[in-house]
Chain A
Amino acid sequence: MLQDKKQEIRKFMMMLAVVNLAVFAVCYRGIVRSYNTTMLALSYRYGFTSRSLIGTIYHLVDAVLPIDMINYDAAVGFALAVTGLFFVVMMIFFYQCLKSCSEEDLKNSEYLILILSVSLVSTFSFPYNFFRVDICMIMMSLLAVICIIKDKAVWLCVPLSVLGVMFHQGYVFMYFNLILVLLLYRALSLWNRDKKRAVYYGGVFLASFLLASALFLWFEFFSRSDGALYFDSIQKEAEKLSYQGIYHSTLLYHEVLGIDLASTEAEYFAVNHNQIIVFTVVCLPMIFVAVRFFVNIYRRAEGFWEKAKYLMVAVGAVTILPNFILKIDYGRWIMAVVVYYMGIVLALLAMGDPIVKGEVQRQAGSLQKKPGLVFYLMAVILLIPYLDVNISPFVRHLASMVNRNILHWY
């Protein structure tokens, strides 16, 4: 790596660390919501059940350490440690992207990383999503993407995908798309040059897809058979782990007893639909740039398989659509969309995709010629953090004004 590039990356990582620390300082409140502490009460002691991996790890740590971890303060400490680990993995991912991309793509990658980084740090430091299991899912995807970018130990994508689903079966809709799209992208890109390697990537794709799908089906439909036997003990632990003993009852009824309480969420769909419209309108400039970006890439691709490859890259986020239709945590789904698109472009720049490089340079070139670029970066600050039912404080505020004065949907 050239000395100038090394120095630039070092300066950028230091700047990013300071910005991330500032974002963490303003967002972190030292509390963990009941949903996330209650999840720690679930573990594989009660069977191979969904969302129990993080609780199992927690109980292992409790068994190993000479202190009692089954209390709220220990849960907060654990949450801080895992969040810290997440930020480290995130920074390693960014560093690898910068190290792998060419010098002419460095600046553009830096801008994308800045946007992704403040979005992630703010969302997962802010109390609503602090210690949300999403950080574990994102970590698995980022580690897998590093392997794909470096073209080393790509087989790790299989166990990382499995772990992602074990953290939360919703992984197959949310962050798994990054791994799948990039594996298939590699397979299609290598097919004419190195068939053996292409088949290897195809094999890893198939293994990841099949195992993750099988696990999803197990967790979703078969894993809760003996829940009633263990409910009381899990409930007692959840009380000890949660602030003032207030645990998340809906989570336990759903995960342990298999009672589907989706009907209780129906009233929030009106909020979701109002907010997604408002969010789309506000983000129209960014959506316009993104659509133009992918349309141009598709047009520049030649041949059926090339076009199919870039079409897959462009629409890879469609895996999140079932979440938008069936579930109400729109803030988390928007975060997943942001992670996908930022992550995929960063990965493709790191892998030196010529069409993506060219288009990024063209679009970034025209944006960087305008001093008003700073307003779009500032818009990102105003739009974060992403929450759960409400997309973000900004959207919640604006959407409630729209609803009160125009729509009257809720």
Chain B
Amino acid sequence: MSGFHAIRDLSLGRRDAEAALVPKGSIGGRALITVVAIMTFLSSLAAGGAVLVVQSSQDWRAAISREATVQIRPSPSRNMEADIKAVLKTLDATPGVTEIRTLSKSDSDRLLEPWLGQGVNLEEIPVPRMIVLKTSATPRVDFAKLRDAIATAAPNATLDDHRLWSQRLATMANTFVVIALVILALLVTAMGLAVSFATRGAMAGNREIIEVLHFVGASDGFISRQFQQRFLMLGLRGAVLGAGCAAFIFFLASIASRRMIATPSGDQIEALFGSFAIGWVGYAAIATIAALSAAFSGQTSRMVVYRKLRSLT
């Protein structure tokens, strides 16, 4: 419609020819918007939580994988200081090792304090000595080769590259992602059923309109597209509402965690989740969920209508 016609018709309270063929009032719009909003909100929380855990796990793993520990156990037949020197020499010659720190006897004893308490005489206990080393991303340290070299230099020394911890963290993060995906699948199923019921109700309420559309030559595809457009708009409103609330909650949480920095509880949270911010990846995931929720509402409605019409004889 030209601008002149549009302005004239609007001024006269008229509408253009593309008025919706499925009337707004014929669908339980508010109820459906609320259902889609709740589903999108919960899906966004699940996705945001998964992003948070995966990001934190990546940070933890990056920190762990850049660090390794050599433990030298005391033995009556070995000279501890000589073994430490031999291991340090081996580490110095290893490409990829960027920093080496030898824990003193007192440092090693202090590591046992949380378990044994203070004031215990550790002279009688064979406390191992530790060497902490940091590695670079490139060149990467060949840990298998280094492990052999250390065993040759000091048979009592063992290398721990923290791989076990890294694997456990990866498993934990992957478990969270799987749980989030299962929650998403359940929510999508529930939303699909809600949209399906609403569509059937709308079809029953608009039976006469569907009949007239058929008589004037509308195809099943055309009619199902009319329902799709209506449900897409309803789904979009619900999805924006639900995703907006979820994004707002994550935003507030990130601000709150920043304000709690340097407090005991803030340190705990930071140790677990970093800054508790889901970042652009998390917000992009929430926006994607909102878009998919709306599209899913429209598409489900279209499929339900199309199948129902095709089954009519």
**A and B pair up:** no
